[in-house]
Amino acid sequence: MPQTDYRPLLDPYEFTNGITLRNRVVMAPMTNFSSNEDGTVSGPELEYYIRRSKGAGMVVTACVYVSRGGKGFHGEFGADRDELIPSLRQLASAIKGEGAKAVLQIFHGGRQCPPELLPDGQTVSASDVPSELPSGGHGPVPRTLTDEEIQVIIADFGAATRRAIEAGFDGVEIHGANGYLLQQFFSPHSNRREDRWGGSLEKRLSFPLAVLREVKRVVNEYASSSFIVGYRFSPEEPETPGITMAETFALIDALKEEGLDYLHVSLMELWSLPRRGTEDERPRIEQIVDRVGGTVPVIGVGSLYKPEDALKSLDTGISLVALGRPLLIDPDYVQKLAEGRPGDIATELDTTAQAELVIPDPLWGALVNTPGWLPLKGQ
């Protein structure tokens, strides 16, 4: 049997701003619940990143909150104040020390934040619409943000970007996916406003675009021309009303027009099919790549456990392949490919190998106790 050629995954990739990645594999952003209570990065978390930065060309960190009222997870690290810059610098240095480019994902959780993590216990969003829970029922009712508060959060995204620059990161990724605040403003489900921040599709785009403009303004002021700005989005929502593929295309058009270094599509399954808003029956990722039209690199992600799946993902037209859960299971995934040992790549989590995999206790507990998160060896 002829050997599969994995070189397309291992070829260097150059962004138009001149930054070159050593290969086309990106470590996807993954929450790890393992930061210190004060928002600093913990020692075990640094070791976890070092272990996974030896192979990938670029590492996108777990999301950091840009505002104290936007903290979305227990054990999440922050970028909401200057005292955290030394902690951020440690993380950037740890990743870059292994040869990967380091990108900080910046975020505000909006209505998805656990109320107990917020200073006043009150979630906020575009409107006072609670989230629909997968189990049925609803999340807490958020308070509608005022115009003034929206301006402050936009500035917070800019300030977090400045801190990322001062800490030595190679870029930031704006988190506009997975139902968090930017998506809450874009979604007709969560945004029922009738001011400049909502109503029409164009007005629902106002907040995500304002955040992108502010981030780019800060980058132009404080960073070198090679600093990366990416944007992550979810292509559709299950809710009615909710974001459709047609609205996703409008978002892509608007982001392209503003200019950025990449678009990162958040998918659980890379080849998943569209729900509504398009007559085209091809996988969403192929339609998105077509809509982008080669103007901006697209990062694809979604259950690419086997190396042949990661290789095949490039056939969709994406420029870079993000691996999240596969790098939890096997941190040496990329090195094994480079050494011609694809058959040695683990595709199920060895539940006896926490120390060898360098996974902090809070994350390990979540992985082994949450059914369906990862394929577990022997189960």
Active site residues per annotation:
180
At how many degrees (to 10) do helices 245-258 and 206-222 cross? 30
| Distances from the Cα of 190 to the Cα of 130, 148, 255, angstroms | 8, 19, 21
Output the DSSP codes for 132-152: BPTTSSB-PPPEEPPHHHHHH
Quick one: angle between helices 245-258 and 284-292, nearest 10? 30
> What are phi and psi for residue 198, nearest 5 degrees?
-170, 170
Q: What SS3 state is found at 282?
A: coil
- List the Cα angle 85/89/91 in 5-degree steps: 120
8-state DSSP, 3: P
Distance CA 48, CA 50 (A): 6
> Where is 94: in which H helix or E strand?
helix 85-96
- Describe the crossing of helices 43-52 and 85-96 by its angle, rounded to 10 degrees: 30
